Structure 1
């Protein structure tokens, strides 16, 4: 009987340990998924699609704000990868993100508003703030683009000159080859 009790005790311990491991794993995965920006943005987009009325407008503004910030981040990441001078763009973008976070908090508060009149009064001002953030990010993207285009224009000018030179050399070579072939008969052909 004691062997059976030991086996059952060991089995119970294994089951308890497995349950603890599964619960901890599920909790870790859940927290990572919950904190994920991609998942959060996707859920926000789904909520904005499924919601109607003024709440839809609030969620649409939040999606617009989120997309705008992602666009600005991508532009700065691209500027970092190319190694072009960036000046204070990162610091400015962080300030923009700070203001956008405050606007997003206001929009989150508005999304919980149940008074239709208060919501209707607050939406135009929120829309203006989101547009201001979008305009700032557009200007930031334009600055990054200008830095990339200026360097690209110089490189393309040099590349165009090199290609033109190579095409001219190939044309001269083909003309010379035709001239040589016209002067000497091909094997198996008689000269004119």
Structure 2
């Protein structure tokens, strides 16, 4: 996504107001749970096209999620965001869709984000540019386990940081998880 996504001359507040006036109204649920938590309040007076990539990403997400919908389509919402921002976006997507009883289709490569926001996951395989195969929707743990087993990779949750970690091939944890058939232990 680039600057052309936002209309010429519109500020962050203008973009959010056009999506849903509650997103810029202090005290409303959207303002507190979306605009403040994404750190957009301090950017209200900035021209949207002049934001950094991460700031534009957060504004685009806020603009989309502030609109009432039964279904949200999000393509790589974690792009251009640091780890803490990814966690914030994940929590917001999960909370907002649950609150609105809405669904979200999210195309994402970040395993941490997938594990955080998904109830069901579809794994796509195949050869890029030649053919693709869409797996059926499965619980996140099951889908990720199938994918990692196919790749021969094991992953666990780091006890200190809580973040997913890939085990070194042939390590004790790698061998243990493979013996149990548990490739995704998060």
Category of TM-score, reference length = shorter chain: under 0.3
Q: TM-score, normalised by structure 2?
A: 0.23
Which structure's CA Rg is the greater one? 1
The structure, 1 or 2, with the larger RCO (C-alpha pairs under 8 Å, 6+ apart) is 1
Q: TM-score, normalised by structure 1?
A: 0.23
In terms of fraction of residues, the more strand-rich structure is 2
